[in-house]
Amino acid sequence: MSLFKDKIVVITGGTGSLGKVLTRRILSNNMDCPRKIIIFSRDEAKQHLMRMEFQQKKNATDDIIYQDFQRVVEFIIGDIRNYHSVCAALDGASIVINAAALKQVPSCEYFPYEAVQTNINGAENIVRAIKEKKFNIETVVGVSTDKACKPINVMGMTKAIQERVFINANISNPQTRLICVRYGNVLASRGSVIPLFHEQIKAGGPVTVTTREMTRFLLSLERAVDTIMVALKYAHPGEIFVPRIPAARIVDVAQSLIEDRNIEVVFTGIRPGEKIHESLVSCEEAWHTFENGDYYTIKPMLPELYLEESGEAQALNKEYSSADSVLSVQEIRDLLLKHKLTVEHLLKYEGEFLR
């Protein structure tokens, strides 16, 4: 099934960890290569570094930007908050993957309206551009988070509304399929707990953990990209795709990295807006959520969009929580080894890992 062949793909917030892996994945299939991938973001420094990385240049030169528009990967400076910037980026696009976000929980707690402008108004700008400019966009994928499920923090609240903005837009934009993916903590993404633990261990400790009981879902960047790809292939308008992924106690993640080193673990207390456990499907959503191989599909609640599940599929009978089943320390260690995220791997490949 061809997803991208000869199409223009826009990745908003594309200079982030997800955007880089997603871009590599899309370019990896010569039989399904897009005409262009547009990386839309507001950080010119990150764009410059990513541009050099994808052109495999070792020395920065001032003239590389002038040939940028002749290449498959194109970089556009702009802000998801700005309607006119969004219109310029989306013009001619077939697929839009919205990865632009304010995602740090404490930052969103202290600057809530900033989160509203990026996470909600940004999504609304995409929807408005499609409607007002009559863009012939086939699919929009909204990248969401487990914090949008039963949200108690600003980041989760704004992401939950972003989901609703995209789902509802299927009614007013029937020519475009708007869908979402929702998943948990991405291993070693920028600002996540594993890079923090790496730095603390390298410094000799202590390693800081909020509470002994706290659990989180864990998945690799590759699995996050898998979820986007599966949703692009199979999701109906308004559906949310959720990967079935392992969970772990954060203190066990810390211990699996520390191993037998003489490093202290210090419990610092829950940060503003944090939960002890996260959920990917709430008990209220369970009645319209169905197993779909390695994923759960959350059907839209709007009657205009809801499709009856055919066959013998059964809805879930409870919420999908990170507290349900957690990995052991050894299982976590094996997961980190698989993805080359142990402290030993970091020290060996530090330059590559921290790029």
**In sequence order, what are the beta bridge partners of 177?**
139
Confidence at residue 34, expressed as pLDDT on a 0 to 100 scale: 93
Residue 355 has pLDDT above 50, yes or no: no
Selecting among 36, 103, 147, 150, the annotated active-site residue is 147
Q: Specify the length of the chain in residues.
A: 355
Our answer to whether residue 233 is catalytic in this structure is: no
Residue 119 has pLDDT above 80, yes or no: yes
Report whether 144 contacts 162 (CB < 8 A): yes
Close Cβ partners of 28 (under 8 Å, ≥ 6 residues apart): none
Confidence at residue 56, expressed as pLDDT on a 0 to 100 scale: 61
Lowest mean pLDDT among 149-153, 189-193, 340-344: 189-193
Give the residue with greater pLDDT, 144 vs 31: 144
Confidence at residue 328, expressed as pLDDT on a 0 to 100 scale: 94
Q: How confident is the model at residue 339 (pLDDT cuts 50, 70, 90)?
A: confident
pLDDT digits (tens, 9 = 90+) for 44-88: 999 999 998 887 654 445 444 445 445 789 999 999 999 999 999
Confidence at residue 145, expressed as pLDDT on a 0 to 100 scale: 96
Question: What are the C-alpha distances in Å from 270 to residues 209, 258, 285?
Answer: 9, 21, 27
Mean pLDDT, all residues of the chain:
89
Lowest mean pLDDT among 152-166, 185-199, 273-287, 313-327: 185-199
**In sequence order, what are the beta bridge partners of 240?**
180, 298
Dist. CA 36–CA 5, nearest whole Å: 10
Degrees to nearest 5, angle at CA 71 with 41 and 355: 50
Mean pLDDT of 239-267: 94
Degrees to nearest 5, angle at CA 41 with 132 and 93: 45
Residue 354 has pLDDT above 60, yes or no: no
Residue 171 has pLDDT above 70, yes or no: yes
Mean pLDDT of 131-154: 97
Lowest mean pLDDT among 223-232, 273-282, 307-316: 307-316
Closest by Cα among 77, 104, 81, 74 to 10: 74
Query: Can you spell out the DSSP letters for 28-81?
Result: T-GGG--SEEEEEES-HHHHHHHHHHHHT-SS--TTGGGGGGGSSEEEEE--TT
Report whether 193 contacts 185 (CB < 8 A): yes
**Going by DSSP bridges, is the β-strand pair 265-267/295-298 parallel, antiparallel, or unpaired?**
unpaired
One-letter amino acid of 33: C
Confidence at residue 60, expressed as pLDDT on a 0 to 100 scale: 47
Residue 324: Cβ within 10 Å count: 12
Percent of the chain with pLDDT over 70: 90
Residue 270 has pLDDT above 50, yes or no: yes
pLDDT digits (tens, 9 = 90+) for 283-323: 999 999 999 999 999 999 999 997 766 555 678 889 999 99
Q: Determine the 3-state secondary structure of 25 from DSSP.
A: helix
Confidence at residue 178, expressed as pLDDT on a 0 to 100 scale: 98
One-letter amino acid of 214: M
Question: What are the C-alpha distances in Å from 125 to residues 77, 84, 120, 137, 172?
Answer: 16, 9, 9, 14, 14
Q: Which residue has the tokens 């986007």?
A: 228
Structural fold of domain 8-353: Rossmann fold (3.40.50)
Residue spans of the domains in the chain: they are 8-353
